[in-house]
Amino acid sequence: MSCFIFQKYCQGASSTAIFGEFVCNKLKDPIQQNVYKKTARDLADEMRTNCESLNGNRSNLEKHILRTLAEKQDFNAYMIYIKNPKEHFKNFIRGEVSQYITERFEDSVRPKIENSIKLLEQQITEAAHESAKQANADLWLHHFTRQLSGVLVFSVNDLTGVNQDDVEVSFLEDVIKKELPSIITDIISKFSTETFPVKLEHKDRPDEILIDHFCQCCWVQCPFCASICTNTIKNHDGDHSVPFHRNNGLNGWFYRGTTNLAINICTSAVASNQSFYPNSSDDVKVPWKEYRKGGPKYASWSITPDLSELPYWKWFVCRFQTDLENHYEKTYQRRGKIPDEWRKYSQEEAIESLNKYI
């Protein structure tokens, strides 16, 4: 081989190696984003199968939320659930996802990313092989990026900025195969319970995927007891409704002219001959039987007169009587005296009533 030919060969080999290494380095972020995003989706799907609280509908999720609240007996958490249920649901889902990732990281989460990244590595090397037939580096780049457009978010513009002179496209496949494993190893080595969520766009996080799944529904609350409408469609047609209403006092309702928190439950109240004041600022009262006349927020609810009551909320009022009284600066006395029979329910019976009725 003449000196000139040998010199050109060395230049070609060096340029090809530099060019291939440059391409691999540019692919690192798109590879990481792709793999993290796919892992998040797969993890969300897995949790909807394997996680007891997330493997059903919103009613099932709410049952687990109420059970957890009863087990922890945290009054402040209860008040977030009562006053801002959507926020509480979101926080609960985030907690479930965080716990699942921590507990199942090595046996479930890490294998997912490793399987995804191996598949992607294969797709990249196949794209390099298919592009080897191109006449020059510029055409190689266009063909290479087009081959991967369905799996990676990047374009030719992301792979410009390196000298393409003397690049031997027939050798680029070998360079890619040689350089790519170190990129892959680096991505896997930095994958952890800490980096996984923060490397994802907010909407692509597994908890946000699940929040989107469970929380795109109706969140209108009963104007009396704050129970959440159970309709799974946001802005749905027809009335709002719930299978079980609660004690009105836990939402702050009290008897006019007293400091006594109300103990009536919506479904029994609408069967009574009593009245309520829809606006605290005036003296206009409305019979419970005609509650829809109280205004738009009352008229949009369907409250059936019956005696259906969930023991859970009777236990709650008794367990947190003092907390509720302090919170609302009212008392469960006189007209609002808690019935003795409510005090017979234990924590275990309250939780069991969730399993029985929900």
Q: What is the pLDDT of residues 52-77, one digit of tens each?
A: 999 999 999 999 999 999 999 999 99
Do residues 195 and 262 share a domain? Answer: no
Distance CA 98, CA 205 (A): 11
Do residues 165 and 51 share a domain? Answer: yes
Do residues 56 and 150 share a domain? Answer: yes
Provide the number of structural domains found in the chain: 2
Residue 230 maps to a domain: no
| Domain limit, last residue, from 211, 240, 259 | 211
| Domain limit, last residue, from 194, 211, 228 | 211
Low-confidence ranges of the chain (pLDDT < 70): 1-13, 161-164
Distance CA 240, CA 233 (A): 11
- What is the pLDDT, as a whole number, of residue 3? 38
CA 4 to centroid of chain Cα atoms: 64
| Domain limit, last residue, from 183, 211, 239 | 211
- What is the pLDDT, as a whole number, of residue 163? 64
Q: Which domain range does residue 55 map to? A: 1-211
Do residues 199 and 253 share a domain? Answer: no
Do residues 165 and 74 share a domain? Answer: yes
Record the pTM. Answer: 0.88
Do residues 142 and 284 share a domain? Answer: no
Do residues 32 and 177 share a domain? Answer: yes
Reference 31, options 166, 152, 136, 138; nearest CA is: 152
pLDDT (tens digit, 9 = 90+) per residue, 150-192?
Answer: 888 877 787 776 666 778 888 889 999 999 999 999 999 988 8
- 182-191-55 Cα angle (round to 5): 135
What are the residues whose beta carbons fall under 8 Å from the beta carbon of 127, sequence distance 6 or more?
144, 147, 148
Do residues 287 and 338 share a domain? Answer: yes
- What is the pLDDT, as a whole number, of residue 148? 92
Distance CA 327, CA 72 (A): 19
Residue 267 maps to a domain: yes
